């Protein structure tokens, strides 16, 4: 029998009440870190019962417990359900089924579940990793009961929280990209975004062109030399304030256009516009502002296949 002492409500070693307890899951023990005394015993093992391999094609899952608990759902997703069968034994004399599955989730938790599923679907479409999805879920939960967002549709808040999660992780997605995988309009996502930032009292970093360069360039199949040149052009253009008032996305698109037109991998404004979501007239406008300064904007070690004088003027 292990000796236990209750220091208030928590289990602790009787000789070292302040000592930190090491938990040994396999033996089910809690061991005092100072003297090695086994303090708690028969601690419930929370590891999974069966190891699952991805190449096993077993249709039956021998696990007797469900998946891991989602901490955002307050633990109410523990659900035991009774299998629905069509045998005579499960019906009473009046024809109604004897056993009912009482879903003990409140409607707010239902919306949480729907929203998490929605976020997960959207993230899947643009290949976002689980860290961002988890963060987006956390933001959604945070604003779920707030007074600011009471009347907004849950899809709009889900899209906005996904947008914020991407931004906070340092890999921002443009509003148009989130719009493409969501059913909500850009305006609504923008509104919800502002409300969530206000409600959670946080600040988001400003977007800059270089956050999007690698993604846009790889979608356009441009080599890294072009990508590096475009990043350089965009940064210099912003530092020299050649393009005041233009969105960083438009500057990025124009920079990619300029860099690609100077090599053999040319891309038209329309192609770049399709990938970045910027209208091709906007690219044209920004390019017109940047063209006169082309000499300064290009990096020093850039290999020109097309010289600067021969770059298109618009």
- Judged by the rule CB under 8 A, the positions of this chain that interact with other proteins are 174-176, 190, 193-194, 203, 206-207, 238, 241, 244-249
Q: Give 250: exposed, middle or buried? Use CB within 10 Å, 0-12, 13-18, 19+.
A: buried
Q: Choose between 207 and 294: whose C-beta lies nearer to other proteins.
A: 207
Number of H helices, E strands in the chain: 11, 5
Task: Tell me how far, at minimum, the Cβ of 311 lies from other proteins, in Å.
Answer: 20
Q: Choose between 229 and 252: whose C-beta lies nearer to other proteins.
A: 252
User: How many residues would you count in the chain?
Assistant: 314
Task: Name residues whose C-beta falls within 8 Å of residue 231's C-beta, 6 or more positions apart in sequence.
Answer: 209, 210, 213, 255
Q: Choose between 8 and 244: whose C-beta lies nearer to other proteins.
A: 244
Alpha carbons 306 and 258: distance in angstroms, whole number: 11
Task: Tell me how far, at minimum, the Cβ of 288 lies from other proteins, in Å.
Answer: 10
Task: Tell me how far, at minimum, the Cβ of 128 lies from other proteins, in Å.
Answer: 19
Q: Choose between 141 and 246: whose C-beta lies nearer to other proteins.
A: 246
Q: Choose between 190 and 299: whose C-beta lies nearer to other proteins.
A: 190
Asked if 193 and 164 touch (Cβ cutoff 8 Å), the reply is yes
Q: How far is CA 184 from CA 80, 118, 154, 180, 245, in A?
A: 35, 12, 10, 9, 27
Task: Tell me how far, at minimum, the Cβ of 198 lies from other proteins, in Å.
Answer: 9
Q: Choose between 96 and 244: whose C-beta lies nearer to other proteins.
A: 244
Alpha carbons 153 and 105: distance in angstroms, whole number: 20
Cross-sheet strand order for the sheet of 21-24: 21-24, 29-32, 38-41
Asked if 90 and 76 touch (Cβ cutoff 8 Å), the reply is no
Crossing angle of helices 248-261 and 210-219, rounded to 10°: 50
Which is it for the CA torsion 250, 256, 259, 263, positive or negative? negative
Task: Tell me how far, at minimum, the Cβ of 249 lies from other proteins, in Å.
Answer: 7
Task: Tell me how far, at minimum, the Cβ of 151 lies from other proteins, in Å.
Answer: 18
φ/ψ of residue 24, rounded to 5: -105, 105
Task: Tell me how far, at minimum, the Cβ of 212 lies from other proteins, in Å.
Answer: 11
Task: Tell me how far, at minimum, the Cβ of 245 lies from other proteins, in Å.
Answer: 4
φ/ψ of residue 5, rounded to 5: -140, 140
Q: Choose between 31 and 179: whose C-beta lies nearer to other proteins.
A: 179
Q: Choose between 175 and 298: whose C-beta lies nearer to other proteins.
A: 175
Crossing angle of helices 269-276 and 280-290, rounded to 10°: 110
* Terminal C-alpha separation, the chain: 84
């Amino acid at each position: 029998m292990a000796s236990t002492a209750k220091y208030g409500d928590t289990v602790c070693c009787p000789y070292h009440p302040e000592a930190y307890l090491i938990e040994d899951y396999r033996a089910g023990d809690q061991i005092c870190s100072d003297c090695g005394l086994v303090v708690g015993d028969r601690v419930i093992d929370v590891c999974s019962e069966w190891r699952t391999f991805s190449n096993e094609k077993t249709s039956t899952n021998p696990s007797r417990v469900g998946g891991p608990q989602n901490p955002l759902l307050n633990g109410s997703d523990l659900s035991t359900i009774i299998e629905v069968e069509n045998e005579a034994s499960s019906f009473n004399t009046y024809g109604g089924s004897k056993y009912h599955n009482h879903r003990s989730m409140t409607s707010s938790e239902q919306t949480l579940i729907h929203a998490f599923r929605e976020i997960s679907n959207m993230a899947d479409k643009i290949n976002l990793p689980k860290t961002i999805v988890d963060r987006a879920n956390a933001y959604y939960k945070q604003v779920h009961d707030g007074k600011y967002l009471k009347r907004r549709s849950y899809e709009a808040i889900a899209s906005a929280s996904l947008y914020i999660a991407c931004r906070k992780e340092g890999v921002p997605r443009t509003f148009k990209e989130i719009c493409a995988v969501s059913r909500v309009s850009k305006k609504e996502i923008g509104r919800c975004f502002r409300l969530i930032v206000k409600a959670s009292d946080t600040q988001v970093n400003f977007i800059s062109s270089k956050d999007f360069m690698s993604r846009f360039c790889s979608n356009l199949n441009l080599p890294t030399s072009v990508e590096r040149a475009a990043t350089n052009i965009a940064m210099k253009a912003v530092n020299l304030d050649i393009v005041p008032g233009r969105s960083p996305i438009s500057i990025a698109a124009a920079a990619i256009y300029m860099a690609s037109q100077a090599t053999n991998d040319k891309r038209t404004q329309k192609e770049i516009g399709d990938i970045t979501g910027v209208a091709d007239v906007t690219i044209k406008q920004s390019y017109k502002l940047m063209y006169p300064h082309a000499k300064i904007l290009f990096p020093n070690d850039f290999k020109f296949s097309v010289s600067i004088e021969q770059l298109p003027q618009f």
